[in-house]
């Protein structure tokens, strides 16, 4: 498989893991995303898993929500090689802006969010607060 793929295994779809990410994960805000992250609790997974969410409150039409999600997925897919590779993370991107941004802006912001993610698992445990 090429490095520019976005396979099913890379998507965070387990409801238990999603709930745990929202409950126990650390977060930061980087316009237009709220980014949640935590170490992947499943030892069998050796890659990052991503969740993408767009609020129905801000975008009533499903066409608009799907457009934003497609742009976020594409920005992630093209730049995921720049993610810190030390330990696999579960990452959630929540789009918070009330307007649809251009793809180039989303791509640039996605790369900035990668730089703010912790580089190692020791940094992750330091950022998680009980």
Distance CA 130, CA 110 (A): 28
Q: 2 in a domain, yes or no?
A: no
Count how many domains the chain has.
1
The pTM of the full predicted model, rounded to 2 decimals, is 0.85
**How much is the pLDDT for 129?**
47
Both structure tokens of 43: 């030892």
Give per-10-residue mean pLDDT for the chain (130 aa): 77 91 93 92 84 95 96 92 83 95 94 85 50
**How much is the pLDDT for 5?**
83
Both structure tokens of 51: 């969740």
Q: 1 in a domain, yes or no?
A: no
Q: 130 in a domain, yes or no?
A: no
**How much is the pLDDT for 105?**
95
**How much is the pLDDT for 2?**
59
């Amino acid at each position: 498989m090429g490095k520019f793929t976005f396979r099913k295994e890379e998507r965070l779809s387990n409801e238990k893991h999603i709930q745990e990410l929202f409950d126990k994960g650390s977060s930061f805000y980087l316009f237009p995303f709220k980014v949640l992250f935590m170490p992947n609790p499943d030892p069998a997974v050796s890659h990052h898993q991503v969740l993408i969410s767009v609020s129905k409150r801000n975008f009533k039409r499903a066409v608009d929500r799907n457009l934003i999600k497609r742009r976020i997925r594409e920005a992630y897919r093209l730049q995921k090689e720049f993610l810190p590779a030390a330990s696999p993370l579960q990452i959630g991107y929540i789009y918070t802006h009330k307007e649809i941004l251009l793809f180039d802006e989303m791509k640039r912001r996605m790369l900035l969010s990668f730089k703010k993610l912790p580089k190692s698992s020791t940094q992750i445990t330091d950022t998680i607060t009980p």
